[in-house]
Amino acid sequence: MQLNRRLLNWGAFLVLVGAVPLAVRGGVLTTDQVSSWWSLWPLLIVGIGIGLVLSRTALDFLGGLVVAATFGLIVGAVVTVGFRGFPGSVCGSEVGTTPLEARSGTFSGPAAVDLQLNCGRVDVTGLPGSDWSFSGTGDGDNPPTVTADADTLRVRARENGARFAFVGRQERWAVGIPTGVPLSLDVQLNAGQARVAPGTAELAAVNVQVNAGAVHLDLGAASALESVDVQGNAGSATLILPDASVSGRLQVNAGSIRFCVPAGTALRVQTGDNPIASYEFDGHGLVRTGNTWQSPDFDSASVRIDLRAEANAGSITLNPEDGCDE
């Protein structure tokens, strides 16, 4: 029998990508253990070296197998915990200490807040009334651009951050948004961390995208929330939803999303059918029909949370055992 080496490598990769989250769910491994597997990256070089040493021999497939298995372990760890437990080296470890220009203002009515950070951490909190604020620290050379008017606040990271997320000092932003006027909120995080806790804000649409980072989105105290869209790409997100009718989408590509809903809230979650996906919705009183998990009283409930969940080499978990608090 002739061995198809390409299929062997793909098989090893996919088996390990799926085996890691299964091992964690089964209690064989802990999330703390797998979150350190990023440090296995030198095995990629070892695998390439084995392939070169054993080239033109019957064992030359071993190098590719080592590389595939290493990628499988690392991606499996990312699928399980995203970047919650991974070190800050994704964005560089040095933090800029130069104070950024502090800004503040007042919205005259419904407003839109749009934040894009390319390397560092942003903390979003709620402020009473209709005022907003911005402050932070950075490297001093390329400060973020802050533009605002009566109904808009937009903060954009330095231009070179998106191109060289691993280079330069991290920025630290503190953004206060008002709880006294209706808001739409957009947050894009490219390498780093974000904590979004707007308190009792009245929220229309909340859209969050995290790329190679981690975001904690606490909307549990929001006075209103119409829609939410959370997308994670090689990252992790944690979402707390309020006791209010909400529709939205959760999408993760090579990472994880955990979300919590108030006890007794009617919930419906519709999923995709990607075979490299993990949906952990069992044990919460939901009835499954095909790709839909639904509370028995969903159709008659006055408060309903209706979500679309899509995972590609990732996991989406409802009400995890350790909760959604930081």
pLDDT tens digits, residue range 137-196?
988 778 899 999 999 999 998 764 344 444 557 899 999 999 999 999 999 998 888 999
- For CA atoms 34, 39, 43, 45, the dihedral sign is positive
pLDDT tens-digit map of 271-312: 987 766 788 898 889 999 999 999 999 999 999 999 999 988
Q: What's the confidence (pLDDT) of residue 158? A: 73
The residues facing 173 across adjacent strands are 122, 136
Residue of 76, 98, 93 whose CA lies nearest to 25? 76
Reported pTM: 0.76
pLDDT tens figures, 299-309? 999 999 999 99
pLDDT at 1: 45
* For helices 61-81 and 42-53, angle between their N-to-C axes, nearest 10 degrees: 160
Tell me, yes or no, whether 159 and 50 share the same domain.
Answer: no
Domain boundary among 56, 81, 106: 81
Of 246, 247, 250, nearest to 233 by C-alpha is 250
Looking at the structure, do residues 118 and 61 belong to the same domain, yes or no?
no
Compare 45 and 263 and report the one with higher pLDDT: 263
CB 183 within 8 A of CB 206: no
Q: With CA atoms as reference, report the closest residue to 324 among 263, 246, 248, 244.
A: 263
Are 210 and 314 in the same domain?
yes
User: Could you tell me if residue 326 is inside a domain?
Assistant: no
Residues 74 and 194 in one domain: no
Residue 236 and residue 118 share a domain: yes
In this prediction, what percent of the chain has a pLDDT beyond 90?
50
Residues 70 and 130 in one domain: no
Pair type for strands 120-127 and 266-271: unpaired
**Least confidently predicted of 76-90, 135-149, 245-259:** 76-90
3 state DSSP class of 39: helix
Range of the domain at 53: 5-81
**How many percent of the chain have pLDDT more than 70?**
69
67 and 107 both lie in a single domain? no
Regarding whether 168 and 234 lie in a shared domain, the answer is yes
Q: Residue 11: pLDDT above 60?
A: yes
Domain count, the chain: 2
- What average pLDDT does range 233-251 have in this prediction? 93
Is the per-residue pLDDT at 132 higher than 70? yes
Q: Is residue 88 part of a domain?
A: no
More confident site: 208 or 1: 208
Q: Are residues 191 and 293 in the same domain?
A: yes
Residue 83 has pLDDT above 60, yes or no: no
Report CA Rg, the chain: 22
- Widest Cα–Cα separation across the chain: 74
- Averaged confidence pLDDT in the chain: 82
Are residue 69 and residue 106 in the same domain, yes or no?
Answer: no
Residues 73 and 105 in one domain: no
Give yes or no for a contact between 172 and 120, defined as CB atoms under 8 angstroms apart: yes
Q: Are residues 217 and 71 in the same domain?
A: no
**Torsion of the alpha carbons at 63, 67, 68 and 74, rounded to the nearest 10:** 160
